[in-house]
Amino acid sequence: MKKIKLDILGISYSQSQSGAYALIFGETGKKRRLPIIIGSFEAQAIAIELEKMKPSRPLTHDLFKNFATTFNISINEVIIYKFQEGIFYAKLICYDGVKEVEIDSRTSDAVAIAVRFNCPIYTYESILDAAGIVMQEGDEAIETGTQAGTMGSQKPTEEPDKQYSHMTVKELEKKLMEAIDAEAYEKASVIRDEINKRKGSRK
């Protein structure tokens, strides 16, 4: 069965489930999108790595990577291989230098691990047929989330957080480090978005 490569396009607050997030995949070079609902912990774990934040202590997925690399185990790819009754199933394709092994995983955990190993994520045509969305020209309905590597700036039911608008970039960077040290990663994402917005406006 031919594998189809997916790119992570963004993470946004879920419009259908309170407290959850939508992880948006795009078929590489095509217009099809694959939205997957994930929990807040996994969403933060993915966003932290995409934004290259450095937690003061390793998160669960960082620990997994450290453990695997210590014993020379690599993750070659992640495959989202089944969609049944609204649930996506994924597996890690692992290699220890001698043999390749498949390990079953929740899709959200598999993606959090994939971004840490910088390995590709694949699915199959049957999954995209069952759960994918085809983007039309000018249709941005599924693109309302944050760009890949950010999270938390598009909460649909709340006004944008303005508590950082009066701070300087230097003050924001200090707040960012404090949030990371306190493991307040959602807050850190909001601060990072504000810093990026300020720096982008200077170009």
Question: Could you tell me the domains of the chain?
Answer: 3-151 (3.10.690.10), 159-203 (no CATH)
pTM given for the model: 0.72
Classify residue 119 by burial, with Cβ atoms within 10 Å: 0-12, 13-18, 19+: middle
> Which pLDDT tens digit goes with each residue over 63-84?
999 999 999 999 999 999 999 9
pLDDT at position 106, please? 96
pLDDT at position 15, please? 64
DSSP state, residue 56: S
Query: Per-residue pLDDT for the chain (203 aa), expressed as one digit of tens each?
Result: 899 999 999 888 776 677 788 899 999 888 899 999 998 889 989 999 998 888 888 889 999 999 999 999 999 999 999 999 889 999 999 999 999 999 999 999 999 999 999 999 999 999 999 998 887 555 544 443 444 444 544 443 334 456 777 888 888 888 877 776 665 656 666 777 777 777 776 65
Strand order in the sheet with 3-13: 100-106, 87-95, 74-84, 121-124, 3-13, 21-27, 32-38, 133-134
pLDDT at position 25, please? 95
95 forms beta bridges with: 74, 100
pLDDT at position 156, please? 39
Contact present, 102 and 82 (Cβ < 8 Å): no
Determine the 3-state secondary structure of 142 from DSSP.
helix
Residue ranges of E strands in 3-118: 3-13, 21-27, 32-38, 74-84, 87-95, 100-106
75 forms beta bridges with: 94
pLDDT at position 160, please? 40
pLDDT at position 138, please? 52
DSSP state, residue 193: H
Share of the chain above pLDDT 70, in %: 78
Give the C-alpha distances (Å, rounded to integers) separating 110 from 40, 144, 196. 15, 24, 28
Residue that is written with structure tokens 């069952």 in the block? 130
